[in-house]
Amino acid sequence: MSITNSIYLGRFNMKFNKIKIISMLLIGSSFLGLSTFASADDLKVSNDSKYDLSFSINNTCSKEFGVADNRSVKVISEANFNKACAYNSSSCEAKVYNAPSCMGKQVATVVFDTSYGVQGLYPIEITIKGNGFNLFFEGPWLVK
């Protein structure tokens, strides 16, 4: 193989590698764009307090959210989540009570957006964390 041919092949390989790199960057950035597209999901509620928690939405005790038993994880389906928050999907306010049927004391308020999940956490007598479609309740009354 002559020097001219090897130089030509080297340039071809460099151009081909540049095309591969550019293609991979474009494909990767398009996947990144898809992952930032928001959609609703099941709501996961982790209750690590010693109380069963219930939820009131639009001043009505929520059948869709039901009761999150103590020391358990409750999954609220996407359909039930959207149904409960249908009247205000971008700012759905849920009051949290420390007893079933919303009969106990209000211990927190959580604001949801049905497309993005938790938007605001307002604890009264409970430690609460959340992001996306995940809520974590830990009281000052942790079960030992």
- Looking at residue 19, what is its pLDDT? 65
User: Domain residues of the chain, as ranges?
Assistant: 1-37, 43-138
Which one-letter DSSP state was computed for residue 86?
G
pLDDT tens per residue across span 35-93: 344 456 899 999 998 899 999 998 889 988 999 999 999 999 999 999 999 999 999 99
- Looking at residue 118, what is its pLDDT? 96
Residue 49 neighbours by CB under 8 Å, 6+ apart:
70, 98, 126, 137, 138, 139, 141, 142, 143
> Around Cβ 50, how many Cβ atoms within 10 Å?
13
* Residue 80: C-alpha distances to residues 53, 62, 65, 102, 138 (Å): 17, 10, 7, 18, 24
